[in-house]
Amino acid sequence: MSPDIVAENLTITGLAGRYAIALFELGAEANNLEKIAQDMATLSLLLGTSADLKGLTLNPVFSSEEKGRAMAAVIKAAELDQLVANFIGVVAKNGRLDRLENIISEFERILAHHNGEVSASVVSAHGLTDAQLDSLKDKLKSMVGSEVTVDTDVDENLLGGMVVKIGSRMIDSSLKTKLANLEESMKEVG
Q: In the chain, which stretches have pLDDT less than 70?
A: 1-11, 167-168, 190
Question: Do the bridges between strand 118-124 and strand 148-154 make them parallel or antiparallel, or are there none, so unpaired?
Answer: parallel
Whole-structure pTM over 0.75, yes or no? no
Q: Residue 3's pLDDT is what?
A: 44
Q: What is the mean pLDDT of the chain?
A: 85
Q: What is the pLDDT of residues 93-136, one digit of tens each?
A: 999 999 999 999 999 888 888 887 777 888 888 888 899 888 88
Rounded Cα distance, 91 and 100, in Å: 8
Rg (CA), the chain: 21
pLDDT at residue 9 in the model: 59
